Amino acid sequence: MALKSDKGCGTPKNANQKQIYQRLVQLFAPLVYFEQKEQFFPVDLPTTINNSSLWKMDHKAKLPTTQLKKDYKTINPVQDLPVATSYYYTTVTGTGFIQKSIEGQKPFDMPKPKLNEVYDKYKNGVIPAELTIYATVCSARDVPNSNLISECQGIDKNVQHGIKEGLIISYYMYFPACESPEFESEGDWSGISILLKETPTQLTDLYNPKGFKRFLPVISCYYRKTIDGAPPSPNFVAGDQGFRRWKDVKRIREQSVGEDTHPIIHVSRGRHNCYYEPTTTSIKLSAPWELSFTADRIESGDYAAGPAKPDVNTLQGGGIEDFPWWGYAIFPPFLPLVLCGTGCEYPVHFDTSGLPIGYVEAEDQSKYSGYSGVPNSQSGSSYPKKSAEKVPASSKQITLMLRYVDLDDPTTTAIWGYSGAWGGATLDRATLAWDPENPRLWGDYRGAQRPALAAWFVWNLFVNGTFGCSGIPQLTRSP
């Protein structure tokens, strides 16, 4: 069974290359700042899984239901998770309900995450989690979607070289819950990616200040999650504001190489969007792509570079080509078409200035003056026992356990390849069942699915106007 793990990523079989990967994630481990009133901090997956129950969503039922498969503290990751499909989810609390009512109708139940219970279990040590940040290393050219931009005209030359010859290092944080005025969920993912221009082959180069310089990153990507694509299937959007040239990234020094290598991340309260500087900004509710553009297809690379029907030259299953050819003519604000004969290779640009009706902006209250998370590969820290707001901002640090995702370890492989979701109180694809005796809101009770950040990094480059293609690199047919 195929695991939901990042394509292009993995643990090298060569011992020297494995050590290189482990050294790289240490060299570029970020310093993470949390807002002073943040309640949920990134935790380790094994402890969370071991203190969860496992449920299965029956999506084929007329009124979808859930079924308990494994009770709390009975999950065996190696045995139970690899056979779980995307319709499985874990939860540390179970699903709660709140009463909703519509004028003229009988009140009905609506699922709601038990965030207070989630918070209490971690805070009080019932779930003795270690504060953790995970790292994966991917060969950039093997990541889904890299084919879309490898030959793209106009792309930043250093970025283009990195896609062909370099590595994508992604840092993942899993939070027990997401909490914001727009949505709440048990389970939440966040992180950043960086692109190295070259792939090191000698471990000694990563300890030598002179030899190390050629392996410095060329660009960083700070992900923000759109509200419309919130868990279980978030859109991890970067846009021009989310990308940052490495020279412009705020960093702290790594003494072993005499370089500022550790990027600073500012994490917004509750929603856990990542920023490169402490600022309050607005994010789009929807990504600037609709129709068949989905999280699953972006992560699998199931797209072709142009409005063509699937053939031997395109990826089967379609993607951009699913947008009907006549749409390019009548919807110029979305994707203006450069008219030419069949086989033209002029770049075509996304234009997100003419956003479709329904795009709304919501403010992400991102204040950063509280905990700072310091990565450490040797020691960890339990969940904070005191609220951050009661601790002076300048005096409180927490240690994040840095973990390279080593797929040679069976437990790591089982958990990291889990195709289901963490947290079971999020409602997806809701259907209102108006049974007069028992009105209820039905749907898929699933939490946050782990994003393949490397694939999202490349996809965001594809639609980026400064560093990437800013649209379709090559048309394979014209209307």
Tens of pLDDT, residue by residue over 218-264, are 999 999 887 666 666 778 888 667 899 999 999 999 999 999 999 99
**Mean per-residue pLDDT of the chain:** 77
Q: How many angstroms separate the CA atoms of 240 and 160, rounded?
A: 17
Place 145 in a pLDDT band, splitting at 50, 70 and 90. confident
291 has a pLDDT exceeding 50: no
Higher-pLDDT residue of 86, 72: 72
- pLDDT at residue number 380: 55
Query: What tokens does 89 get?
Result: 């989810």
- pLDDT at residue number 68: 92
Place 440 in a pLDDT band, splitting at 50, 70 and 90. low
- pLDDT at residue number 465: 77
- pLDDT at residue number 149: 82
Share of the chain above pLDDT 70, in %: 69
Higher-pLDDT residue of 34, 383: 34
- What is the number of helices (H) and of strands (E) in the chain? 12, 25
Judge residue 157's burial from the number of C-beta atoms within 10 Å of its C-beta, 0-12 exposed, 13-18 middle, 19 or more buried: exposed
- pLDDT at residue number 435: 66
Place 300 in a pLDDT band, splitting at 50, 70 and 90. confident
Amino acid type, 132: T
How does pLDDT run across 6-18, given as a tens digit for each residue? Answer: 889 989 999 999 9
User: Which SS3 state, helix, strand or coil, does residue 347 take?
Assistant: coil
Q: How many angstroms separate the CA atoms of 3 and 84, rounded?
A: 10
The β-bridge partners of 89 are 55, 421
- pLDDT at residue number 313: 32
Phi-psi region of 413 (alpha: psi -120 to 50; beta: other; left: phi over 0): alpha
- pLDDT at residue number 162: 94
Place 324 in a pLDDT band, splitting at 50, 70 and 90. very low
- Please answer whether residues 364 and 284 qualify as being in contact, where contact means their C-beta atoms are separated by less than 8 angstroms: no
Q: Supply the DSSP symbol for 448.
A: B
CA 215 centroid distance within chain: 25
98 has a pLDDT exceeding 60: yes
Higher-pLDDT residue of 311, 365: 365
135 has a pLDDT exceeding 90: yes
- pLDDT at residue number 328: 32
305 has a pLDDT exceeding 70: no
pTM of the full predicted structure?
A: 0.84
35 has a pLDDT exceeding 70: yes
Q: How many angstroms separate the CA atoms of 240 and 178, rounded?
A: 25
- pLDDT at residue number 184: 82
Q: Which of 31-40, 299-308, 389-398, 424-433 has the lowest mean pLDDT?
A: 389-398
- Considering 217-231, 306-320, 404-418, the range whose residues carry the highest mean pLDDT is 404-418
Query: What tokens does 26 get?
Result: 């240490």
Query: What tokens does 125 get?
Result: 């040590």
The β-bridge partners of 373 are 32, 398
Cα-only R_g, the chain: 22
Q: Which of 195-199, 232-236, 299-303, 329-333 has the lowest mean pLDDT?
A: 329-333
